[in-house]
Amino acid sequence: MIKHGSWIKPGPWRPFLLKATLLTATLAFSLDYVAKRYRLGIDWQVERCLPDTHAVLIDLRSDIPSRGGLIAFRGQGLEPLFIDGTHMVKILVGLPGDHVEVTSDRTTVNDVVVATGLHLAKRLGQPSEVFARSFIVPEGHYFGVGKSDNSFDSRYFGLIRQDQIIGKAWRLG
Torsion on CA atoms 30, 31, 37, 39, rounded to nearest 10: 150
> For 81-119, how does the pLDDT look when each residue is reduced to its tens digit (9 = 90+)?
788 898 999 999 999 999 999 999 999 999 999 999 999
- Note if the bond before 80 is cis, omega within 30 degrees: yes
What pLDDT is attached to residue 3?
55
> For 153-162, how does the pLDDT look when each residue is reduced to its tens digit (9 = 90+)?
999 999 999 9
Cα separation of 79 and 166, whole Å?
A: 20
Q: In what order do the strands lie in the sheet with 133-136?
A: 112-116, 106-109, 99-102, 133-136
Is the pLDDT assigned to residue 5 strictly greater than 60? Answer: no
What pLDDT is attached to residue 155?
96
pTM, whole model, 2 decimals?
0.81
